[in-house]
Amino acid sequence: MPAAFSSFVAIGDSFSEGVGDPYPEGGAFCGWADRFAHRAAESWPDFAYANLAVRGRLFDRIVDEQVVPAIKQNPDLVSFAAGGNDALRPGFNATQLSTRAHEVVRLLKASGAEVMLFTCADMSHHIPGMKFLRNRFIATNDAYRRVAKRHNAILIDLWEDRCFADPRMWSEDRLHLNTFGHRRVATTVCEALGIEPDEEWLEPLPVDRGARRELGGAAWVGKHLAPWVKRRLTGKSSGDSVEPKRPNLTQVK
């Protein structure tokens, strides 16, 4: 791994887009990738950043739409996080995902980029019925561990981070990380790449006064689960009308 990187492209779905971590104004999402990029720019001169991730994307569509555009920009660091949405759907096959992930990372490495992969954080603690799907996430994570080892990629292992068992790390929908969760990911990424995290990210979490528990049971089902199921039944995605928020490498200021 080089001592510094000059350019970074994030590939993926809502996790890398930053859903759950809104900017104070404008309606856009920040997320771990934005946070990391701005921190990296303080350490590495003229650092450029692009983010091709779009919420709701399945693994194959992420690969088809984002990998080649990323390679064409010739970054020296690429993050690839995909498969979480697939694991929530019928017919999921971790072996097929693993096979294609190997090919994706091989292509990214051949382009000259360092590659950063992720295991998904464990959300089974706070989503009803998620324990039934837990083995799918374990299989997906195991696949990414094998891919990272085979290709000597950087692995950010969120599954083993017990901090994500804390509901205060998650958005109201319980599926996406919130600002505190994205700060935690950004901290882990910075540490893996030899950058000092922002001190604010390391501050203790606020006291949970029960607000999260209030949106439980029928309230959570009606506001979050039911719309998600409806999109699945109608073949729609939360990202159908969403474009990448930062499609081209531009200098971080």
Cβ-count burial 119-147 (b if 16+ within 10 Å, e if not): bbbbbbebbeebeebeebbbbbbebbeeb
What's the confidence (pLDDT) of residue 72?
98
Domain boundaries, the chain: 7-251
pLDDT in tens, 89-110: 888 999 999 999 999 999 999 9
- Average pLDDT (138-164) is 96
pLDDT in tens, 188-231: 999 999 999 999 999 999 887 554 544 456 565 555 554 655 55
| pLDDT value at 126 more than 60 | yes
What's the confidence (pLDDT) of residue 228?
56
What's the confidence (pLDDT) of residue 214?
44
What's the confidence (pLDDT) of residue 222?
56
Written as one letter, the residue type at 116 is: M
What's the confidence (pLDDT) of residue 125?
78
- Average pLDDT (82-89) is 90
- The sign of the torsion formed by the CA atoms of 9, 13, 16, 18 equals positive
CATH class of 7-251: alpha beta
Q: What is the pLDDT confidence band of residue 61, given thresholds at 50, 70 and 90?
A: very high
* Cα-to-chain-centroid distance, residue 44: 23
Distances in whole angstroms, Cα of residue 81 to Cα of each of 119, 213, 245: 8, 30, 16
Q: Which residue has the higher pLDDT, 253 or 63?
A: 63
